Amino acid sequence: MTKTFKLEELDCANCAAKMESAINNMPEVASATVSFMTQKLTITTDSEITNDLMKKVAKVCKRIEPDCRIIY
C-alpha cells in the first residue's frame, strides 16, 4: 500500500533527507520519500498503513524536525 501525506513546517532540505533515511530504515516500511519542495511524505508498505505505524513515523520526524507535523 502506498499513501502520501502532507507535511507542515518542514523548514530544511537536509532534515527532509534525514527523515527519509530514518523512515526507510524502519522494518515496516518498504520505501519512503520526503520531498522538501512539495512538502509531502510518501510511504509504501507491504501491508496496511496503520495509526501505530504513523505514530512511529511522526516520532522520527519530530526528533529530526521538532516543528514538523504530518497531516493525515
Query: What confidence score (pLDDT) does residue 29 get?
Result: 97
Mean pLDDT, residues 35-54: 96
Annotated domain spans of the chain: 2-71
For residue 53, list its beta bridge partners.
Answer: none
| Contact indicator for 21, 61 with CB cutoff of 8 Å | no
Mean pLDDT, residues 19-27: 98
Tell me the whole-structure pTM to 2 decimals.
Answer: 0.93
Domain 2-71 has CATH 3.30.70.100: yes
